Structure 1
Amino acid sequence: MLLDYNNIGDEGVKYLSNAIGINSPTLVELSYNNIGEKGAKYLSKALQINTSILELHLDGNKIGNEGAKYLAIALQINSCLQVLKLPYNNIGTEGAKHLSEALVKNSSLVDLNLQGNKIKNEGMKYISEALQINNSLQI
């Protein structure tokens, strides 16, 4: 499912998440769609029940720390997602901490892209500690 550059925002993701929860796409591309923390919350709920999505691309949205927290909750439950792309989403240290906590428990994710965020040194420390425990994520 390729929906990049459609400016669907949080409201559009709400409708899409309902469909994702019951359908079986393996790839969902939602890059550059003005998706914020509410949209991340909808996606998180869908990921908690969907067992077919292998890749989720969310490049260039506005997920932020709170949205990263919602996605981290899904990562702790979902055991099929292999690729999560979150570049340029204004994720900072707090978001990196949430994602790191999920990485400790998740064993399906092999590719996590956090390029162009605001993770800084402290956030990198959290991620580094999680990578010492997580054996599935490829560096």
Structure 2
Amino acid sequence: MQAITTLNLDWNKIGADGAQHLADALRTNKTLTTLNLDWNEIGADGAQYIADILRHNTKLTVLNLDWNRIRDIGAQHLAVGLRTNTTLIELNLCVNQIGDAGAQDIADGLRANKVLITLNLCDNQIGDVGAKHIANALRTNKTLTTLNLRRNQIGDLGAHRLAGVLRNNTVTIILFFIYFIYLFAFFPAGTYEVESTVQ
């Protein structure tokens, strides 16, 4: 029988209980590489169960958790999983209200993580403080190549902090178009890669 490598459960309202059952099943799963749990209202408790997958599963490479109301506590749980995970290369956490506190926890996870390539944190109420923590993490993390921060609350100070990171890091940072004036003001052409998207 052919093994399942992709599981899409978006828009199913599985909640925290469903996340717990999935975590139990996937803790030692050896075939699943992509898990989509967008729009499932798993909350912070559910995020804790999913973080358990990150700590023990050695096959999962893509995890989608957009629109799940995990907030800052859920982000804290996921960050713990990120610290020791050795396989996940893409994590999507859009619209989860993690705020600056959650961004700080994710940043802490990034400092230790050595494999994540793409991180999507769009529309998470992250401000200048959260951007500062993420920027600091990117000074040591050299594996992340794409960071999506669209539709957050990052102002001039946060954009400046992120721009400063690009002196030693080639991560593509997706922000509001207006803030890319910093990139052009502080860095000569050819020292960074930027994707700008107007929302």
Match of 2:144 in 1: 137
* Residue 71 (structure 2) aligns with: 64
Matches within 5 A, 1:121-132: 121-132=128-139
State whether structure 2 residue 88 is matched by structure 1 residue 86: no
Q: Distance in 1 between matches of 2:77 and 2:68?
A: 15
Name the % identity. Answer: 39
* Residues 1:53 and 2:53 are matched in the alignment: no
User: Once the two structures are superposed, what CA deviation does each residue of 1:71-110 show, in whole Å capped at 9, x if it has no partner?
Assistant: 0000001111100000000111110011101101101000
SS in 2 for 1:23: coil
| Between structures 1 and 2, the one with greater helix share | 1
Q: Which residue of 2 aligns with 1:6?
A: 12
1:23 aligns with 2:20: no
**Root-mean-square deviation (CA), in Å?**
0.7
**Structure 2 segments unaligned to the other structure (5+ residues):** 1-6, 146-171, 173-199
Shift of 1:45: 1.1
The Cα of 1:34 is off from its aligned counterpart by 0.6
For residue 22 of structure 1, give the secondary structure of its aligned residue in structure 2.
coil
Q: Which whole-Å CA distance do the structure 2 matches of 1:70 and 1:103 have between them?
A: 13
Give the number of aligned pairs.
139
Structure 1, unmatched stretches of 5+, are none
How many angstroms apart in 1 are the aligned matches of 2:28 and 2:111? 28
User: What TM-score results when the alignment is normalised by the length of structure 2?
Assistant: 0.69
* Aligned with 1:116 (options 123, 128, 140): 123
Q: What TM-score does the superposition give when structure 1 sets the normalisation length?
A: 0.98
C-alpha distance in structure 2 between counterparts of 1:4 and 1:65, whole Å = 21
Is 1:37 equivalent to 2:44 in the alignment? yes
CA drift at 1:23: 1.4
- Structure number with greater Rg is 2
Q: 1:22 deviation in Å? A: 2.0
CA distance in 2, matches of 1:126, 1:113: 16
